[in-house]
Amino acid sequence: MTHPADSQRRPRKYPFEKMRISDHSILDTIEGRHTCRLCHRSRKFFCYNCHIPVGDLENLLPRVQLPLQVDIIKHKKEIDGKSTAVHAAVLAPEHVRIHTFPDIPDYRDEPGVVLIFPSAKALTVPQLFERNVQLQIGDNYGLPYGHHMGTLLRRRMDEVEIPSQDQDAQNKRTWDLENLPIRRAVFIDSTWNQSRGIYADDRVRGLRTVVLQNRLSQFWRHQRGSPRWYLATIEAIHQFLLEVHVNAWGLNANYRGLDNLEITEGFHQLAAPLKVKPAEGDEDLVSRMSPYNGQYDNLLFFFANMYDLIHKYYDHNDLISYRRPI
């Protein structure tokens, strides 16, 4: 919901304007704090230890259904109250769980698990769907050998689909919630230096790694030395699910939620709709497998609200985070 006083401080292109995010102005009406029914700590909107809403919000928040499971590995030094990862656990409780390193599952024998991490051998989401996509890395974007473009990248990566003889067969393939190439996606919620330590753990190091398509982060906290497409954890989860959905079931031609995210132009060409496998007698399931029309946008419910709150007090262009290089 747009507040009249906010319009002068917001950027001209409001990033969430065309996304299908529920009206989060309800959060602005909540006064005081409430007791978490599990740990009995005092919280404002949700308990970031128990990952549940507090007070009346328990019955008022949107609930998001995801096509796969999401695990978040949080470094023990990350401050719980400042992490956006908990947003996903609160809004999609059936599909998201958070672990604090080193107390994490052993993923080595679990099929269909990927790690969202820019390793030297990272795949793109279209490649997970066996589409013939290549990254145009050229001279490694001017970086020394051994540096992956997802770690120290100073400009956007380009993704190109290469025509192949079996392209028609790929385009005719159908996907449902049971045969997606990914069953669980693992995200690391930490600083870059901390994440490298987690990635070195044998329980995750053998996982296939995935690098996301670039989009400008709307996170208001300055990440020193990082370009604008280093996403907050909740943004990364939303972006990954968006890419998975679009590669499986296409992009609704009328959905305009991507217009202000400044995603690489080629994303729309790579997101050619694929044939949907029908689900008989289950309208909810059919909707979940329809071309993307904002099904996961509510993951940004708290994020968009906080973005608005920040911009009530600060001019967009005065915040260091939005003046990082792109």
Tell me, yes or no, whether 81 lies in a domain: yes
Mean pLDDT of 210-228: 68
Tell me, yes or no, whether 109 lies in a domain: yes
CA 246 to CA 267: how far, in whole Å?
Answer: 10
Domain with 116 in it? 62-139+152-162+177-322
The three-state secondary structure class of 33 is: coil
Tokens standing for residue 79: 């401050």
> What is the pLDDT, as a whole number, of residue 231?
84
CA 148 to CA 91: how far, in whole Å?
Answer: 33
Question: To the nearest whole percent, how much of the chain has pLDDT over 70?
Answer: 70
Question: Shortest CA distance to 238 belongs to which of 264, 258, 267?
Answer: 258
Mean pLDDT is lowest, of 10-19, 102-111, 120-129, 187-196, for: 10-19
Tell whether the torsion through CA atoms of 139, 143, 144 and 145 is positive or negative.
Answer: negative
Tell me, yes or no, whether 105 lies in a domain: yes
pLDDT in tens, 102-154: 999 999 999 999 999 888 788 889 889 886 655 555 554 444 444 444 444 43
Q: What is the mean pLDDT of the chain?
A: 79
Top pLDDT among 28 and 321 is at 28
> What is the pLDDT, as a whole number, of residue 54?
95
Tell me, yes or no, whether 56 lies in a domain: no
pTM of the full structure: 0.84
> What is the pLDDT, as a whole number, of residue 223?
59
Question: Shortest CA distance to 114 belongs to which of 160, 48, 55, 180?
Answer: 180
> What is the pLDDT, as a whole number, of residue 321?
46
> What is the pLDDT, as a whole number, of residue 215?
80
The three-state secondary structure class of 132 is: coil
Mean pLDDT is lowest, of 52-66, 157-171, 253-267, for: 157-171
| Domains contained in the chain, number | 1
> What is the pLDDT, as a whole number, of residue 280?
60
pLDDT in tens, 225-281: 554 557 889 999 999 999 999 999 989 889 999 888 877 666 666 665 555 555 566
Tell me, yes or no, whether 80 lies in a domain: yes
Strand partners, 115: 186, 209
Angstrom distances, CA of residue 298 to CA of 17, 23, 57: 13, 10, 15
> What is the pLDDT, as a whole number, of residue 2?
39
Mean pLDDT of 177-206: 90
pLDDT in tens, 290-320: 999 999 999 999 999 998 888 776 555 544 4
Residue 169 clears pLDDT 70, i.e. is over it? no
Tell me, yes or no, whether 37 lies in a domain: no
Tell me, yes or no, whether 15 lies in a domain: no
| Exposed/middle/buried for residue 42 (C-beta within 10 Å: 0-12, 13-18, 19+) | exposed
Q: What's the pLDDT band for 50 if we cut at 50, 70, 90? A: very high
Tell me, yes or no, whether 35 lies in a domain: no
